Chain A
């Protein structure tokens, strides 16, 4: 099974070599050149190319490692002034490095199977992550190294599940020094490790007085020292060179706008959309005068609305970086508290998901690719649960929680939230590929993934004991239940899923046929973003609902 996964994913990824690659390809080629040809002191100063090095130092070292081989393949790859060099050999080489680096993810998934259980549910998640349309699109077509980085994240999460908290913390600290986007989920890690590793952890909440006696200074010291050591290894040289402010300036370019090139499917997409609606309402109808709203004329004259980052709002109040930060933190706090109160892995992984969501939904200058952070962590959260093994038909209701300590059964809500967020998020990635030959590829890999994983997860939801009784009474268990893929989905959710089809037909085909390539170019992008944002926000609400209600239920069970 795992060999098949390995072979198939590799073949597919190599087949994808000739697909469109974005400017990120040149970005990484340039970084290969910078790290290979320049001394460390120049890494974060070099700006021959507009694609300056803006990942943390570990990633730069990773590039340096690859550049050794790159120089063998073609010395021209590693020349700093050799801009936009994309010969066939370069493409093959760089795409190969992505595939090889993604073996880290494959390895992590093998460990996940071992630790979380090797049942249909876990296998499905395994396949879903290794052949993930999001990763395929972003890594193997668009060109990035996310598979590798998410591999490290999954390793870290699996360590946490195993109770190897120190290793988990170190891995996560290292991951932060590969790509700082993982700061999005750092609060959850912080809360969990602090509470679970640095305090007595019997799985129960600690009474107010015993906090001090529960503190374990040695663990605290160990964790603190190792995390600081990781950061020192990464940032040390640059501190020594007195380049820390320069580094920080590169990593956190706050000059960029609220939204990335096109809107990521988050709150701000909805907010911007609302603003567009308001502009029309205010300028075309008397409503504006009635509510005493005024138009910001300068925002209207911005011709690049919906396309380029610097979003100015016409009617609604402007949003600053501080606002987004406050909102993000506010959204993260509830789940952090819940982890801090009772640091089980279940709660931890849930709060990681919710932190990722909070940052994605409310963050400043969020990339659409960051949705992977939500979907990957959600996948791990689902793999952590207990699925029914469908071939044990009748016994499905009588699952026991004993074989997986602390894990809860997979609920239909989890599946629905996961599928809707993934679908919306991956469709939100589609505008990355505006070239026509890639359109069928992005559509097909997303559709195949949705149908395959959707129907697979659907079979893994344990039947409620009640329904199991009725089916045994009816005599035949499998033929009785309606095994349609979306059976758990409510009407609205089904509408949303099927609604993607006409919307995307319009976006990909009809719009260009009617308006041509340039006219109203923002409209299809806006439609995709807003439609996707609705799905992501809905999925987030659904997931939060199950997270907090299941926590409550578990609490009640314990107290009883």
Chain B
């Protein structure tokens, strides 16, 4: 019988890795293996899946679908179907309005991206960052500019009107929208979606295929990313995808390539800085373990990789100090303020009580927020230097990006996509937690999406996500159950309230404020939880990313 042979093969693979890989034999790990083998013998006639944790996943419809695929030997085509479905959903969402559609004079993010394409194809490279046309200055790092140039170049060939110098400001047409949408989707497919597929293959390399496939589907259906990139219009997935590629390389111990990929992410969107403490700590900690010479050599290699990558990216503006300062000034616009609109972070929450922006000048706010950010990611940073495991890296990414989101200067509500990425990557390791986080994160972006008339898409994708992951809450602690139910209740109440009851005239932003308060509270809890997780998780030596404590233990804490 086919499934039996495969099961036997899988358990064989497991025992060989275990035999090869345990000098410091871990008791918990061994029990996992023995339970696996007994379950193999027991279930040879039944169709249940292999691992002991599997029954929990059975509550997930997606997992049952993957199991069904495996039983019916449909694994081969499955990944194509999932990827195609993900692309289809993104494209359909893209039929909706984009940021700033039909809202002169400034329009929105869409116009910014379009203008950068216009700018880069019409101006010499050295003027990209010093152009003073008073229209959406280029304030993203060079890789964005290069990608804009490429998109602009192709678009210009199709229809020169779309990106004509000056006359195309605020240009809107169905075809232009179509072109812009397709550039997002194409880049997302090439960088983000591919990275997710590879990540799940690596992360679940020694686990059944069903888990891997479940993870692919869940990660690709993460609502926030779809709504912001394909709905609102941005190229976040390029940056996020490059970060995942970096993680993929780190998982394969290709640290130099990983750093290059990470630098490219940084070079695409400065927001990738949110992740940099974790990446830095992980690489540093790993180098320290190589012995003195090995450490120096590794640091030199990594340093060179970083410098060469960033140097190449910034090389056109390297000729004078002024120029490079101009680029940096554009990329880090501290003058813009502590935060934008309503964002679910600590400053915005505190601001309701203490009017920070009026009390303090910008300089001291910058200093203070930077210090606070630093302090909040320091614990996880230190832990990662001491214990640079692969699983720890992911938790480090979560903690540092959450710290930045909660405490750093100039945060957008969209930045929640950054912590959401590593949390979603752990979707099968922390299923309920990851699901809940994405619900809160998507909810926190609702005011933005509402502004852009993307509410239908928002409700559908969030609803789909809740439905897809609802099975994860079946076997969790009552505290987590309570929290998730409360969260849903609050979300539904706020949405219904907004629909039915107009906010009082004194507080026109009431719902947006309540939204950001509730989300901020949730994100603070998450910061506490993930810091705790980073310090308490038990790692088996060779396979940094294998979790050996029963996941249920983790739930109890919540």
Q: Does B174 contact A (CB under 8 A)?
A: yes
The answer to whether residues A390 and B464 also contact, given A3-B61, A441-B91 and a CB cut-off of 8 A, is no
The answer to whether residues A452 and B81 also contact, given A15-B460, A120-B72, A459-B74 and a CB cut-off of 8 A, is yes
**Binary interface encoding of chain B residues 65-104 relative to chain A, with 1 for a CB under 8 A from any of its CBs, else 0:** 1000001111011001100110111011111100000000
**Binary interface encoding of chain A residues 59-85 relative to chain B, with 1 for a CB under 8 A from any of its CBs, else 0:** 000000000000000000000000000
Chain A nearest CB, measured from B458 CB (Å): 11
Q: Does B501 contact A (CB under 8 A)?
A: no
Interface pair B76/A455, CB less than 8 Å apart: yes
Closest chain B residue, CB of each to CB of A452: B81
- Give A425-471 interface residues, CB cut-off 8 Å to B: 436-437, 440-441, 444-445, 447-448, 451-452, 455-456, 459
Q: Does B358 contact A (CB under 8 A)?
A: no
Q: Does B27 contact A (CB under 8 A)?
A: no
Interface pair B65/A452, CB less than 8 Å apart: no
Q: Does A110 contact B (CB under 8 A)?
A: no
Interface pair B5/A485, CB less than 8 Å apart: no
Closest chain B residue, CB of each to CB of A448: B84
Contact of A459 among B61, B72, B463 (CB under 8 A): B72
Binds B, one of A34-42, A321-329, A364-372, A475-483: A475-483
Interface pair A390/B72, CB less than 8 Å apart: yes
Q: Does A1 contact B (CB under 8 A)?
A: yes
**In the complex, what distance in Å separates the CA atom of A484 from the CA atom of B463?**
36
Chain B nearest CB, measured from A235 CB (Å): 41
**In the complex, what distance in Å separates the CA atom of A485 from the CA atom of B3?**
20
Contact of A444 among B47, B88, B93, B95 (CB under 8 A): B88
The answer to whether residues A436 and B1 also contact, given A15-B93, A478-B73 and a CB cut-off of 8 A, is no
**In the complex, what distance in Å separates the CA atom of A345 from the CA atom of B396?**
64
Residues in A whose Cβ lies below 8 Å from that of B474: none
**In the complex, what distance in Å separates the CA atom of A436 from the CA atom of B181?**
12
Residues in B whose Cβ lies below 8 Å from that of A12: 92
Q: Does B64 contact A (CB under 8 A)?
A: yes
Q: Does A393 contact B (CB under 8 A)?
A: yes
**In the complex, what distance in Å separates the CA atom of A93 from the CA atom of B307?**
58
Q: Does A542 contact B (CB under 8 A)?
A: no
- Give B131-186 interface residues, CB cut-off 8 Å to A: 174-175, 178
Residues in A whose Cβ lies below 8 Å from that of B81: 448, 451-452
Residues in B whose Cβ lies below 8 Å from that of A441: 88, 91-92
Closest chain B residue, CB of each to CB of A120: B72
Interface pair A17/B456, CB less than 8 Å apart: yes
Residues in A whose Cβ lies below 8 Å from that of B548: none
Question: How many Cβ-Cβ contacts under 8 Å join chain A to chain B?
Answer: 86
Closest chain A residue, CB of each to CB of B97: A18
Count A-side interface residues using an 8 Å CB cutoff: 37
**In the complex, what distance in Å separates the CA atom of A478 from the CA atom of B81?**
22
Q: Does B499 contact A (CB under 8 A)?
A: no
The answer to whether residues A1 and B64 also contact, given A18-B95, A391-B3, A393-B2 and a CB cut-off of 8 A, is yes
Q: Does A4 contact B (CB under 8 A)?
A: yes
Interface pair B91/A440, CB less than 8 Å apart: yes
**Binary interface encoding of chain A residues 15-32 relative to chain B, with 1 for a CB under 8 A from any of its CBs, else 0:** 111110000000000000
The answer to whether residues A477 and B2 also contact, given A18-B95, A452-B77 and a CB cut-off of 8 A, is yes
**In the complex, what distance in Å separates the CA atom of A440 from the CA atom of B175?**
14
Chain A nearest CB, measured from B73 CB (Å): 6
Q: Does A11 contact B (CB under 8 A)?
A: yes
Chain B nearest CB, measured from A437 CB (Å): 6
Residues in A whose Cβ lies below 8 Å from that of B460: 11, 14-15
* Prevailing SS type, chain A contact patch: helix
**In the complex, what distance in Å separates the CA atom of A394 from the CA atom of B5?**
13
Q: Does A7 contact B (CB under 8 A)?
A: yes
Closest chain B residue, CB of each to CB of A391: B71
Residues in A whose Cβ lies below 8 Å from that of B72: 120, 390-391, 456, 459
Select the residue from B2, B3, B64 with max chain A CB neighbours within 10 A. B2
Q: Does B370 contact A (CB under 8 A)?
A: no
Q: Does B487 contact A (CB under 8 A)?
A: no
Chain B nearest CB, measured from A482 CB (Å): 11
Residues in A whose Cβ lies below 8 Å from that of B3: 391
The answer to whether residues A455 and B77 also contact, given A15-B92, A437-B174, A441-B91 and a CB cut-off of 8 A, is yes
Closest chain A residue, CB of each to CB of B175: A436
The answer to whether residues A4 and B61 also contact, given A441-B91, A451-B77, A477-B2 and a CB cut-off of 8 A, is yes
Residues in B whose Cβ lies below 8 Å from that of A447: 84
Residues in B whose Cβ lies below 8 Å from that of A7: 464, 467
Interface pair A15/B457, CB less than 8 Å apart: yes
**Binary interface encoding of chain B residues 270-295 relative to chain A, with 1 for a CB under 8 A from any of its CBs, else 0:** 00000000000000000000000000
Interface pair B84/A436, CB less than 8 Å apart: no
Interface pair A451/B64, CB less than 8 Å apart: no
Closest chain A residue, CB of each to CB of B77: A455
Residues in A whose Cβ lies below 8 Å from that of B71: 390-391
Closest chain B residue, CB of each to CB of A484: B76
The answer to whether residues A391 and B92 also contact, given A4-B61, A459-B72 and a CB cut-off of 8 A, is no
Interface pair B84/A437, CB less than 8 Å apart: no
Chain B nearest CB, measured from A126 CB (Å): 13
Residues in B whose Cβ lies below 8 Å from that of A120: 72
Interface residues of A (CB under 8 A from B): 1, 3-4, 7, 11-12, 14-19, 120, 390-391, 393-394, 436-437, 440-441, 444-445, 447-448, 451-452, 455-456, 459, 476-479, 483-485
By Cβ-Cβ distance, the 9 closest A-B pairs, closest first, are A478-B2, A444-B88, A391-B71, A455-B77, A18-B95, A15-B92, A4-B61, A390-B72, A448-B84
Known: A390-B71, A455-B77. 15 other contacts (CB 8 A): A11-B463, A11-B464, A15-B93, A391-B47, A393-B1, A436-B175, A436-B178, A437-B95, A440-B88, A441-B91, A444-B87, A448-B81, A448-B84, A476-B2, A483-B73
